[in-house]
Amino acid sequence: MDHKVDFQVFPSENMVPAPDRARLLDNLGFGKVFTDHMVAVSWEAGKGWHEAHVRERRPFQLDPASAVLHYAQEIFEGMKAYRTEQGSIVLFRPEENARRFQNSAARLAMPIMPEELFLDAVERLVRIDREWLPAGEGSLYLRPFMFADEAFLGVRPANRYTFCVIASPVGAYFKGGAKPITVWVTDKYSRAAPGGTGAAKCGGNYAASLIAQAEAIEKGCDQVVFLDAAEHRWVEELGGMNIFFVMESGTLVTPPLGTILPGITRASLIALARDAGMNVEEKPYSFEQWRDDAAAGRLKEVFACGTAAVVAPIGHVHHGDNRFSIGSGEVGPVTRQLREALVGIQKGSRPDPHGWLHVIA
Ligand SMILES: *Cc1c(COP(=O)(O)O)cnc(C)c1O
């Protein structure tokens, strides 16, 4: 059924004029500015993937009974296109995003999109909107997503879906040296449980995490850290980033896969750390141990990581009425080294020994 899907391309007739685009690109935050086009592909039971379009970015027409609006059958990806120092446009490990999208779809009982179709869709959007790639430190954030748009209120996997890709030029998350963030460790809320959707990139996980993130902000913190749902003991991850601990021995510790989201940044940093001769252990790490290791000086650095922020150093930790700092509360050398190694590959200023860059012709 999944025969080759042909894209129809309808270039926008309402493109943002170049001077306006230049002004927008001059003042980028995260996820506020969007490019001229979008890609959309439909799926229907019995038909498979069909009606693939590259066209002007515009609102969807959704039936009020669309399943996604009621039962949240929705998944997404987050990836970036970079302009390398050599002037080419590259994606970073996009096959990993395609595969994770398939795994998320399987968990949410949604159709599996072939890897080639996912990559084709993403590349087409980058190509038609390449003028939106910021110069310098910025990048083009790509957001592939899929939702159930069958108009039906019965509870079962929908039989109609829309896959879409939109793009948003983003600035450097950190200008120069990144300032360490403060995290709030919640005892009250869980992000994911065994058998749940923690490893799937679905909007519902975020919906469930927002109240804890709001609590973190209320407590004067930047981000929330979730513990495991069963014991409220083991560190899992932040609302949208994985976490690493750098021990005095030089060993890196990061929570194992299972209920956490398998971050591509996480996997890449594990590989880069091992390339640099560091020992990396994927093992459960308790909040109690975190606090004790920080107090005893055995824990030197902590950082969060994900596509959007790349690497975000964690300087301070709040839990209930207690607070503690990591080292001096400043960015540590291992955090800096790993961030530079990863960004260096993405921007083409360092060799790419693992073949992670995918050049867009
Ligand atoms: C997307 C995401 C991450 C980071 O994944 P990357 O592939 O590194 O961008 C981490 N945690 C959650 C909950 C996420 O949704």
Closest CA to 139 of 92, 86, 81, 77: 81
78 shares a domain with 109: yes
188 shares a domain with 156: no
Per the domain annotation, does 358 fall within a domain? no
Q: Could you tell me the distance, in angstroms and rounded to a whole number, from the CA of residue 10 to the centre of ligand 1?
A: 32
315 shares a domain with 198: yes
In this structure, the number of other CB atoms found within 10 A of the CB of residue 151 comes to 13
The strand pair at 139-148 and 160-170 is best described as: antiparallel
pLDDT digits (tens, 9 = 90+) for 193-206: 999 999 999 999 99
CATH number of the domain enclosing 305: 3.20.10.10
108 shares a domain with 234: no
Q: From 104, 137, 170, give the residue that closes a domain.
A: 170
Per the domain annotation, does 336 fall within a domain? yes
pLDDT-derived band of residue 1, with 50, 70 and 90 as boundaries? very low
Is the CB–ligand 1 distance for residue 306 below 6 Å? Answer: yes
Rounded Cα gap, residues 221 and 316, in angstroms: 9
19 shares a domain with 49: yes
Per the domain annotation, does 234 fall within a domain? yes
How many domains would you assign to the chain?
2
Q: What is the DSSP string of 51-74?
A: EEEEEE--PPP--TTBHHHHH--E
216 shares a domain with 240: yes
Count H helices and E strands in the chain, helices first: 8, 18
Q: Residue range 348-354: average pLDDT?
A: 96
Report residue 257 as tokens: 């896969």
Which residues constitute the domain of residue 129? Answer: 7-170
pLDDT over 90 at 16, yes or no: yes
187 shares a domain with 166: no
Determine which residue's CA is closest to atom 13 belonging to ligand 1. 240
Query: Which atom of ligand 1 is the closest one to the Cα of 264?
Result: 7
185 shares a domain with 166: no
pLDDT digits (tens, 9 = 90+) for 278-315: 999 999 999 999 999 999 999 999 999 999 999 999 99
Q: From 114, 136, 170, give the residue that closes a domain.
A: 170
Is the CB–ligand 1 distance for residue 261 below 6 Å? Answer: yes
Q: Could you tell me the distance, in angstroms and rounded to a whole number, from the CA of residue 200 to the centre of ligand 1?
A: 10
The strand pair at 322-325 and 310-319 is best described as: antiparallel
Burial state string for 80-111 with b = 16 or more CB within 10 A and e = fewer than 16: bbbbbeeeebbbbbbebbbebbbebbebbebb
Is the CB–ligand 1 distance for residue 53 below 6 Å? Answer: no
pLDDT over 90 at 135, yes or no: no
Q: What is the pTM of this model?
A: 0.96
Rounded Cα gap, residues 63 and 153, in angstroms: 11
Is the CB–ligand 1 distance for residue 196 below 6 Å? Answer: no
In this structure, the number of other CB atoms found within 10 A of the CB of residue 290 comes to 22
Q: Could you tell me the distance, in angstroms and rounded to a whole number, from the CA of residue 114 to the centre of ligand 1?
A: 21
89 shares a domain with 45: yes
pLDDT-derived band of residue 361, with 50, 70 and 90 as boundaries? confident
Is the CB–ligand 1 distance for residue 201 below 6 Å? Answer: yes
Is residue 157 within 8 Å of residue 110, measured between CB atoms?
A: yes
CATH number of the domain enclosing 13: 3.30.470.10
196 shares a domain with 340: yes
Q: Could you tell me the distance, in angstroms and rounded to a whole number, from the CA of residue 283 to the centre of ligand 1?
A: 18
Per the domain annotation, does 305 fall within a domain? yes
189 shares a domain with 42: no
Determine which residue's CA is closest to atom 15 belonging to ligand 1. 240
What residue type is assigned to position 17 of the chain? Answer: P
Cα dihedral across residues 197, 199, 201, 206: positive or negative: positive
pLDDT digits (tens, 9 = 90+) for 208-235: 999 999 999 999 999 999 999 999 999 9
* 217 Cβ contact partners less than 8 Å away, ≥ 6 residues apart: none
Determine which residue's CA is closest to atom 1 belonging to ligand 1. 240
127 shares a domain with 260: no
Per the domain annotation, does 2 fall within a domain? no
Rounded Cα gap, residues 91 and 346, in angstroms: 8
